[in-house]
Amino acid sequence: MNTLRSFITPTLSFIVANRVAIISILIVIIIFYLGFTITSLSLKKLKVKVFSYYPFDRFFPQSGRWSVVYFIITIALLGIIIYLLARGNFYLAPA
């Protein structure tokens, strides 16, 4: 019983001391969960057969290689931008 009380007392004091942060994190998690649920429910209602009516073959190749290459190029460019911002001593301040 004493070990249970020695565990509960610091836990309750931690919760009381950080209640604002805990409540705000829970609210953010609930908002993201609701957004995910609403998005997934609306995506499940989409008609799957609609894609065959639109000929995207003229614009996008059949293979998925172009999307992988595009993703890698995007990640590389973002990495270069972050590297240059970190090494170039850029500051968010008026000119």
Higher confidence at residue 76 or residue 66?
Answer: 76
Does residue 80 form part of some domain?
no
Give me the number of domains the chain comprises: 1
Residue 25 lies in a domain: yes
Position 42 in a domain: yes
Three-state secondary structure along the chain?
A: CHHHHHHHHHHHHHHHHCHHHHHHHHHHHHHHHHHHHHHHHHHHCCCCHHHHHCCHHHCCCCCCHHHHHHHHHHHHHHHHHHHHHHHCCCCCCCC
Dihedral pair phi/psi, residue 43, rounded to 5°: -70, -30
Q: Does some domain include residue 14? A: yes
Higher pLDDT, 93 or 49: 93
Give the structural domain span for 50.
2-62
The average pLDDT across 62-84 equals 83
Q: Is 85 within a domain?
A: no
Q: Is residue 73 part of a domain?
A: no
Residue 76 pLDDT greater than 70, yes or no: yes
Give me the pLDDT at residue 48, please: 63
- 26 domain-assigned: yes
User: What's the mean pLDDT in 40-69?
Assistant: 66
Lowest mean pLDDT among 11-15, 31-35, 45-49: 45-49
Look over the chain and give the mean of its residue pLDDT values, rounded to a whole number: 80
Q: One-letter amino acid identity for 80?
A: I
